[in-house]
Amino acid sequence: MSHRVLDQIRSNNHRAISRLITAIESGQDVLEDEFAELFAHSHHALRIGFTGPPGAGKSTLINQCIAHLLQKDLSVGVVAVDPTSPFTGGALLGDRVRMNRFFGDDRVFIRSMGSQGDLGGLAKKAQDVGDVLAASGKDIILFETVGVGQGEHDIIKAVDFTVVVLVPESGDEIQLMKAGLIELADAFIINKADREGAGRLTQLLKNLLQNYSPKRADIPAVYSTIAFRNEGVKEAVDGILNSIRLEKEKGIFDDRRIKRYRQRVATLIHDRLLNTFWNESRETQLLQATQSIESVKRSPYKIAQELLDSFRYE
């Protein structure tokens, strides 16, 4: 990334943004000094994550949210992460079709990312992409991800505010608890309120949140929407922005950012150490030490220690 590219990003040149994101996606390391410069211009942006089961209406909701945010004179970047898709570069056709009404609008930049089998890497890349969009001047960065596994949770943990989207068919109380969604959510949206069971789920969730004593000061709000008819979405957007404003006043917002920054540094160290550790020589050493069924009768701790003994991080 040259200074010219940085200038282009900062002046919201969507082609340059797109190219840089492609570089990040393909695993090219963005040079640290230049990333630092870019990062310095990314702090103003609010990062909001939307997670929930497949087909809950996350993309439809985000699509409507964009319009409401634009009306508030807020520009928007969207990072739609699909861990199940190997495609990259906006190849999620469904998302594209639904969101392309903003095509050509320089206040909106939408990008889909696939996993290529590497979920851990995806979380890191999605955060970097969010920073690029923030540096381009976008006020709000929306992340969409299917909330099912750990890797997706890693993505959602990197945001300032997490919205969990549920639908009447998302299931019962126990499933909600199991999926860890209660701990994750800063707000809930019950979408598909036109469907049977939506009222019951909303009530169930509200009761659950009242009784469940999370280690947090305020209980997450529960909004009800019919995304494809744009019903309730404006109220949800207003409510969420208001919650964020209150969290800022109380210092909760900053605390969360600090915690997440710390986590990000720890993850980078974890990844780098592992990458440095597994060089060719250690991979060979492991293969040689485990060539026969006899050899794997030794304690695995011993092999691990031998490998570690040869490791000094420089």
Ligand X SMILES: Nc1nc2c(ncn2[C@@H]2O[C@H](COP(=O)(O)OP(=O)(O)OP(=O)(O)O)[C@@H](O)[C@H]2O)c(=O)[nH]1
- Would you tell me which residues interact with ligand X (CB under 6 A)? 54-60, 94, 146, 191-192, 194-195, 226-228
Residue 227 interacts with, from Mg ion, ligand X, none (CB under 5-8 Å by kind): ligand X
Minimum distance from residue 163 beta carbon to ligand X (Å):
12
Minimum distance from residue 35 beta carbon to ligand X (Å):
29
- Cα–Cα distance for residue pair 47/132, rounded to 1 Å: 12
Q: Which is nearer to Mg ion, 119 or 307 (CB)?
A: 119
- Cα–Cα distance for residue pair 162/142, rounded to 1 Å: 10
Minimum distance from residue 30 beta carbon to ligand X (Å):
27
286 and 307 Cβ atoms separated by less than 8 Å: yes
Q: Which two tokens stand for residue 258?
A: 């600090």
For the chain, how far is it from start to end, CA to CA, in angstroms? Answer: 25
Q: Which is nearer to ligand X, 134 or 233 (CB)?
A: 233
Q: Which two tokens stand for residue 202?
A: 């909303």
Q: Which is nearer to ligand X, 59 or 127 (CB)?
A: 59
Q: Which is nearer to Mg ion, 58 or 111 (CB)?
A: 58
Q: Which is nearer to ligand X, 92 or 240 (CB)?
A: 92
Residue 17 interacts with, from Mg ion, ligand X, none (CB under 5-8 Å by kind): none
Binders of Mg ion in range 59-98 (CB under 5 A): 59
Q: Which is nearer to ligand X, 56 or 155 (CB)?
A: 56
Told to check if 224 binds Mg ion by CB under 5 A, we report no
Q: Which is nearer to ligand X, 55 or 86 (CB)?
A: 55
Residue 56 interacts with, from Mg ion, ligand X, none (CB under 5-8 Å by kind): ligand X
Q: Which is nearer to Mg ion, 16 or 141 (CB)?
A: 141
Minimum distance from residue 164 beta carbon to ligand X (Å):
12
Residue 39 interacts with, from Mg ion, ligand X, none (CB under 5-8 Å by kind): none
Collapsing DSSP to helix, strand or coil, 138 comes out as coil
Minimum distance from residue 67 beta carbon to ligand X (Å):
15
Q: Which two tokens stand for residue 272?
A: 């780098």
Minimum distance from residue 198 beta carbon to ligand X (Å):
9
Amino acid in the structure at residue 106: D
Residue 55 interacts with, from ligand X, Mg ion, none (CB under 5-8 Å by kind): ligand X
Cβ within 8 Å of residue 188, ≥6 positions away = 163, 164, 165, 166, 205, 220, 221, 222, 223
> CB 207: neighbour CB atoms within 10 A?
11
Residue 194 interacts with, from ligand X, Mg ion, none (CB under 5-8 Å by kind): ligand X
| H helical segments located in 136-213 | 150-156, 173-178, 181-184, 198-211
- Cα–Cα distance for residue pair 102/137, rounded to 1 Å: 17
31 and 3 Cβ atoms separated by less than 8 Å: no
- Cα–Cα distance for residue pair 73/100, rounded to 1 Å: 19
Instruction: Count the residues of the shown chain that bind Mg ion, applying the rule CB under 5 A.
Output: 2
Residue 228 interacts with, from ligand X, Mg ion, none (CB under 5-8 Å by kind): ligand X
Q: What does 31-91 look like in DSSP terms, one character per residue?
A: PHHHHHHHHTT-TT-EEEEEEESTTSSHHHHHHHHHHHHHHTT--EEEEEEETT----SS-
* Per-residue mark of binding to Mg ion, 29-58 (x: CB under 5 A): -----------------------------x
Q: Which residues pair with 187 in a beta bridge?
A: 163, 221
Q: Which residues bind Mg ion (CB under 5 A)?
A: 58-59
